[in-house]
Amino acid sequence: MTPQAVLEHYDRGLPWPADRPLPIAANVDAAYQQALALRALRIARGERPVGYKIGFTNRTIWPRYEVYAPIWGTVWHTTLTRISSSGSSSAAELSLDKLCQPRLEPEIVFGMAATPPQGATLEELFRCIAWLAPGFEIVQSHLPGWKFSAADTVADGALHARLLVGNETSVGRFATSAQALDELLGRTRVRLYRGDALVEEGKGVNVLDGPLHALHHFNQELQRCPGAPALMPGDVVTTGTWTDAWPLEPGQSWRAEFDAPFDSLGIALR
């Protein structure tokens, strides 16, 4: 399918046609070029890139989806919601209208203060971070049953549908060095609830040994991708789910309780 056809299915919330040309891209590198063409179409119609999502950083779920390496895609001003806070928790409502097989992922989101240098080390990357926040990424698949190739996921907007970002906390409250932040995030845990029922627990080390490592991997991949824009000050980057991706239905409520100093995050679906 062409980038324009992919965009039309995204807008309408419809699965890709069963008779679509296969493969959609010859390989993952070709799929990124299709994704950049899709990005250009969205910019041309007035959408504004505000950051990136990193997917498939959680090695524990690679065999489940048969995708064995991280991917990345664009987050848009039309897909990003910053949630107002109340005390130590944040909550929001979200419509699932025109989303295709949506699922929820609890993640940690970084806000960038500066563009990382070429080949940035972990410490150099740490100095480019402004804040951290709990987040929910709502992902979607336009292929039936969440069965796809890695190239399909890249061409399909990296499966990104929505990003909800909770309370943003200055990186200095967490740590004063990359090593300290890495160790903190690696041991941090999250408990994911549907209603009052605990459905899964996860930990930061699941995502490429920690969210800072996921950000580092992504920055390297972004810098080596032909035609890809650099990370910019103000960009948000969500670093991958700490649990499995859980199917969503209208009427549900979900809550993620991260260890301190992160706040909890809630969402009600309609």
Q: What is the pLDDT of residues 221-265, one digit of tens each?
A: 999 999 999 999 999 999 999 999 999 999 999 999 999 889 899
pLDDT tens track for 99-152? 999 999 999 999 999 999 999 999 999 999 999 999 999 999 999 899 999 999
At residue 129, the pLDDT reads: 98
Q: Where are the beta strands (DSSP E) in 22-100?
A: 49-55, 71-76, 80-82, 85-86, 89-94
Task: At 91, list the tokens.
Answer: 């909550």
**Residues with Cβ < 8 Å from 25, sequence gap 6 or more?**
31, 33, 34, 151, 152, 154, 155
Segment 83-92 mean pLDDT: 72
Supply the pLDDT for residue 5: 86
Average pLDDT over residues 42-47: 98
Q: Are 32 and 228 in contact (CB under 8 A)?
A: yes
The interaxial angle of helices 3-12 and 28-44, nearest 10 deg, is 60
What single-letter DSSP state applies at residue 234?
Answer: T
- Please tell me what DSSP assigns to residue 179: H
**What is the model's pLDDT at position 86?**
62
Say what the pLDDT of residue 18 is. Answer: 73
Q: What is the pLDDT of residue 124?
A: 98
Average pLDDT in the 34-58 region?
97
CB 40 within 8 A of CB 27: no
Domains by residue range for the chain, with CATH? 3-269 (3.90.850.10)
Kindly state the DSSP code that residue 36 receives in the 8-state scheme: H
Assign 123 to helix, strand or coil.
helix
